[in-house]
Every structure is written in structure tokens, then in C-alpha cells.
Amino acid sequence: MFTSTKKKEIKNAINLDVLGTCFNLIGFVLMILSLFSNAHPYLSSLYFIKVSNSQQSATFGLFHYCVNSQQCHQETFTLPFDEQMINLLHVTTTTTPAQDPKNPPHDPHMLVAFICCLLCSGISFVLCLYKLTNKRYHDIYFTRGFLSVGASLWSLLLVTLTWITFQHAAAAAEQFLQQQHFEIELGPCMSMVGCAFMVFSLASSLLLLGCATTATPSHHYQHHFV
């Protein structure tokens, strides 16, 4: 009876590890796609914001923008982004956006947050695979779970930064683009960053629970480097 209960606990812990590994992988892929959005014409369907009319369209990724889904250019986007977006579109209007002298254009440094998020989730994913393939490794310090917590916190920061950069720009620039009959819409990358935050949060919950319920036999050799 004791043996069967023990086997059931270990099996449940392994199932949690598998789910945590899958969630980490999903979040990592979503972040990679968001990071390289609009980097190539083939990736022009991945964007944060799109501005279009009957003659032309422009999609804006994280560090690139594409014109008519053909020509893609690298650009460092700054806050407030609505002024830079209008300049990149070469739109002439009778009025210009009022620039706040107390808020000069500045780089939100989203690349740093993306790199930190990818490092946390990538290392956690590698450790998850190592644990699934090596029965002698026991994550006694909950490293995988805490790394996933770090990834979820960085992704939450990115949700905030992308919302401030792109969604706020869409609302601020709409009145200036109406004269040229431009339409503004938010792209799938906004949802992808939000979904990455959700899956990282699920991964951290599952991995921390899996670590807490995984048996740690004292007679086996264990790796304590993490």
C-alpha cells in the first residue's frame, strides 16, 4: 500500500514537471516570436501595431517595421511612440502632436527585459529537461520554479511596457491620422506577450508544487549545484 502510494506521488510529480516544461517552452517561443516581430517580410504578420489606408500599410514590431509587408527596416522605438510613428509614415497633417518638454523621447529599454525573460525561461526549460532525463537530479532548491517566477515577472513588465508604447500610441496618434484616412489596429504580438506571462505564471506554480511534492531519496547521489 505504501509502495503504490509512493509511486503515485512520484508519477504526479513527473506529470507536473512535464506540464511545467511545456509551459516554459510555449512562453519561450512566444517571446522569441515577439522579439523578432517584423524583422523579415516573412514575419510581417507578427506585429504590435498596424497603420494602413487604401494605398499603403505599415506594421511595427519590437525593433523593426515593415512597409506594405515587403520592405522591413530596423529602428529603435522611443517613448512617446506616436510622434515617431507619424514621422516614420511621413504623414503631413495640419496639426502636429504637442511635445511635452518634461517628457523628451527616450528608449524604454525593452530589449533588456526580453533578454532577462528569455534567460530565466530558457535556463528553467533546460533544467526541466535535465530533470526529466536524469532521475538522479533532484531540484531541492526549487530552481526551476523560481526561474519561472522570474520569467513571469519580466514578462509582466513587458506587458506594461508594450501597452504604454503601442496601445497608448494608437490612441494618441489616431486623431492626427484621421485626415489621411489611416486605420490603426493592434496586432497579435500584444496578445502573445500577455499569453507568455500567463504560461510562465502557470509554469512557476506547477514547478514549485512539483518540487515540494517530489520525493528526495537520501541514498541516491544528488546534484546540488542548483
Is 44 domain-assigned?
no
The verdict on residue 202 lying in a domain is yes
Is residue 110 a part of any domain in this protein?
yes
pTM of the model: 0.80
Predicted pLDDT at 198: 97
In a domain, 55, yes or no: no
Does residue 226 surpass a pLDDT of 90?
no
Closest CA to 184 of 58, 65, 66, 75: 58
The domain tally of the chain equals 1
* C-alpha to C-alpha distance for 93 and 8, rounded to whole angstroms: 68
Is the CB of residue 154 less than 8 Å from the CB of residue 113?
A: yes
Domain encompassing residue 144: 16-37+105-214
Q: CA-CA distance, 5 to 144, in Å (whole number)?
A: 25
Q: Is residue 161 part of a domain?
A: yes
pLDDT band at 8 (very low <50, low <70, confident <90, very high): low
- What pLDDT, in 10s, does the model give residues 85-130? 888 877 655 555 555 555 566 677 889 999 999 999 999 999 999 9
The answer to the question of residue 115 being in a domain is yes
Residue 170 falls inside a structural domain: yes
Q: pLDDT for 10-60, tens place per residue?
A: 555 567 889 999 999 999 999 999 999 999 989 889 999 998 887 888 899
| Residue 220 vs residues 45, 111, 150, 164: alpha-carbon distances, Å | 51, 42, 30, 51
The DSSP element (H or E) to which 179 belongs, if any, is none
Helix (H, G, I), strand (E, B) or coil at 96: coil
User: Does any domain span residue 174?
Assistant: yes
Q: How far is CA 155 from CA 119, 138, 185, 198, in A?
A: 12, 27, 22, 9
